[in-house]
Structure 1
Amino acid sequence: MTTSFAAGVRIAELAADPYPAYARLRTEEPVAWVPELGRYLVTKFEDVMFVERHPELFSSVEEPSMMTRAIGNTLLRQDGDPHRRIRKAAEGPVRPKMIKDRWAAAFQANADQLIDGFITDGKADLVKDFAGPLAATNLATILGLRNATATDMQRWSQAFIDGCGNYAEDPEVWRRCEIARAELDQAVTDALPDARQIAEPTVISSMAHADGALTDDEIRTNVKIFIGGGINEPRDATAVAMYGLLAHPDQQAQVIAGEIGWRKVFEEAVRWIAPIGMYPRQVTDTVELGGKTLKAGDKVGVSIASANRDEAVFDCPDEFDVHRDGANHLAFGGGPHFCLGTWVARISIADIALPTIFRRLADLTLVEPDTVRMDGWVFRGPLTLPATWTAEHPHA
């Protein structure tokens, strides 16, 4: 009896580096039952697109759901009218024009303030000292969560992300997740009276004043998912983009010279290492996908990370290359659940964070580029990016 490769796929190996396994699965078994995950893993671009285009067959309402267990019943685990109701209540402050008109100046100030804090040191960890706290501070700003520090926000976010991906059932992960839930619930509870009294273009205030206003519990629950994804994802996207340029000096030189735009850097970074590597869906009816017959109740893991490196779509997909056309990547998902924070990420990272740090820290260099380690498969990014620079430029 022949055992499929997928039967031996292990979570620990995916966390260390999922891409070799994904490449083999795309070739041998693009929709594969992975026993350790308890679901079919979907790895080819065309099959992921099929899932995205047929939400009636692949529901985000998964039972039981790791995310619901970790955070609660958020809009990401709802479909149809319940999903649209919450999304509509939250989306006003994250539309492109609102971000440019209201939030871009704050994002710029946050980036400059962080760089001011370490610029004279001549060295920093670009994840710990810049990408992480910048994502946290920007998110607190746009949420209207003024009573939480960047440290609090990052700790809560990591606890929620770890919980949503705790397929190994680590009890310590659940313990940290429970603590984070309690602390964030209190912070949102403290912020809600002012948010309900004063209408302003923050996400919490928008949810509180929307038609058919959300309950306090709905707001608390959905703020958790905004913090879970709204910090780790922009943090990792910023870090991957910085790493990609620093590890490819020729591409960096072209970007600095203005020959290639920062938006292309951003889009290639999130294609190359998708900040959200996999999301779950549950099958609602019998359907053929990737040569497999799936039945109602079957669980699938939709691998954006693998789809974004599909050889059938991208030339030399394992390479970081800012020259490619990255418009067809799937880093932000698609369909009704297209990432709510897409434009926040594009503007705060591509238009502000990346050009600012490369402009202000001249001759920015990784200390040991060969030792940079990525981690994760549900969510993935560099753990640290120790760097040095030789010249300092004040912000304008």
Structure 2
Amino acid sequence: MTDSATTATAPVADWVTIVDLYTDPFPIYRRMREESPVHWVPAVNRYLVTGYDACHTIDNDQETYSADESGSLMKRAVGHSMLRRDDPRHLDERKSYGGVLKPRAIKQHWNQIFDENCRVQLDRLLAIGPGADLVWDFCAPYAAENLRQVMGLVNATNQDLQRWSQAMINGAGNYSDDPLVWAESERAFDEVDTALDEILPLLRRNPDHSLLSQMAASPIAMDSIRANMKMTIAGGINEPRDLLGIAVWGLLTRPEQRALVAADPALYSLVFDEAARWVAPIGMYPRETTRETVLGGIELPRGAHLGVVVGAANRDPSVFENPNTFDITREKKPHQAFGGGTHFCAGAWVARASVADVALPHLFNVIPTLRPHPDRPAREEGWVFRGMTSLPVDWDRSTVPAFPGSPS
């Protein structure tokens, strides 16, 4: 069965380099998308799928496009988590998370904790003062502390989680096979195992609201618990951290958009969605074909390794008008930043609540004159995972009021 009457072999994009993808992939994606929705890219040894419709097809056909990729970098970095499984095994492991990450639990329990954590981290940012790097002095510690408490990793520090997360996502995106990246990733892998071995017996005896408490009571095998908790640490920090940084950058560089949100804070939900579309924090994820097939008119053999480039799909001009522009007023259409189908991101609701409902409103209310630093440029980097890697900011100290209610 094919999806096109006319088929062709994939064009070879031998002009693409990993360095160029990391620096700024969007011109590359535009050129590729204009030629074909699928290319063979020797630099990353896989087919990159850049068209919106083709990516959507993959997300909704796990029988043809398997998440259980052979030779997976993610399996090496975090173990065989549910992200690299198909149903029914994927669904069974996903169900083991229970309701911990779902909207009801967020509303009843986690939102208050996110609010408290935001106040603490904002106080820390204000103490550092103008010239602080918003990514590393606010976004990262805020996301890490939220995840630490949601998971119940009370035997680890905020800094531990940040280090583990970055090391493991670097491993999952190590398409250049850098041995130093693997060494850091493997160190994080082992340290997380040690922390899990310490905390799970305690949570079995003293259950609480946390995700690890839920996992301790589940029938899932220990190897799967380990892999899924490592996957949660990896994505559970980088996704909200990078969405928050990108959303702030979008508003700081589009003053007319910022004015709209200042007049109507309910629009922060649109800011969140537009940031996710504009720069998907998880920009590419792998799939493998289970049979010969045709995708977007391109013939693919059985066992083909694919990269589903949602960072490109979300800027497909056939779907999104002026796709390279951050615009919260654009016509609302479904983006693919959180995946789709059975693999829709389990942490999407936590990311939305912590970023759109808590962090963005607090940040701009407390620092109304927040602006990019005049002398230190911001940096946005990555392609498998993409976000602000530096966001130096400035503000007028005289306009910043005390932030009441911060826990001591």
Q: TM > 0.5 between the two? A: yes
| Sequence identity percentage | 44
**Structure 1: how far apart are the matches of 2:47 and 2:88?**
27
1:127 aligns with 2:135: yes
Shift of 1:369: 8.4
Alignment of 1:208-219 (within 5 A): 208-210=216-218, 213-219=219-225
Q: Which residue is 1:201 aligned to?
A: 209
State the TM-score, normalized to the length of structure 2: 0.93
Q: Which residue is 1:163 aligned to?
A: 171
Q: Which residue is 1:63 aligned to?
A: 70
**Structure 1: how far apart are the matches of 2:330 and 2:382?**
25
State the TM-score, normalized to the length of structure 1: 0.96
1:111 aligns with 2:118: yes
Q: Which residue is 1:307 aligned to?
A: 313
Larger CA deviation: 309-318 vs 291-300: 291-300
Q: Which residue is 1:289 aligned to?
A: 295
Shift of 1:68: 0.6
1:97 aligns with 2:104: yes
Shift of 1:205: 1.0
Which amino acid in 2 is paired with 1:84?
A: L
Give secondary structure in 2 for the equivalent of 1:382: strand
Which amino acid in 1 is paired with 2:214?
A: S
**Native 8 Å contact 1:104 1:348 kept in 2:** yes
**Structure 2: how far apart are the matches of 1:289 and 1:171?**
34
**Structure 2: how far apart are the matches of 1:74 and 1:326?**
32
Q: Which residue is 1:35 aligned to?
A: 42
1:316 aligns with 2:325: no
Alignment of 1:1-396 (within 5 A): 6-123=13-130, 124-210=132-218, 213-258=219-264, 261-368=267-374, 371-390=377-396, 391-393=399-401, 394-395=403-404
Please, what is the CA RMSD of the aligned residues? 1.5
Name the CA shift for 1:369/1:248 in 2 (closer, same or farther; >3 Å): farther
Name the CA shift for 1:247/1:372 in 2 (closer, same or farther; >3 Å): same
**Native 8 Å contact 1:360 1:395 kept in 2:** no
Shift of 1:285: 1.1
Shift of 1:218: 2.3
**Structure 1: how far apart are the matches of 2:252 and 2:171?**
32
CA offsets 1:200-259 (integer angstroms, 9 cap, x no match): 22111111213xx12333222211000111101110000000000011111111101117
**Native 8 Å contact 1:245 1:252 kept in 2:** yes
Shift of 1:122: 3.1
**Structure 1: how far apart are the matches of 2:303 and 2:354?**
39
**Structure 2: how far apart are the matches of 1:368 and 1:99?**
38
**Structure 2: how far apart are the matches of 1:64 and 1:379?**
19
Larger CA deviation: 190-199 vs 355-364: 190-199
**Native 8 Å contact 1:159 1:180 kept in 2:** yes
Mind listing any 5+ residue stretches in structure 2 that lack a counterpart? Answer: 1-9
Which amino acid in 1 is paired with 2:204?
A: R
Shift of 1:260: 5.9
**Native 8 Å contact 1:159 1:177 kept in 2:** yes
**Native 8 Å contact 1:278 1:379 kept in 2:** yes
Which amino acid in 2 is paired with 1:49?
A: H
Name the CA shift for 1:347/1:80 in 2 (closer, same or farther; >3 Å): same
**Structure 2: how far apart are the matches of 1:47 and 1:360?**
43
Mind listing any 5+ residue stretches in structure 1 that lack a counterpart? Answer: none
Shift of 1:264: 0.2
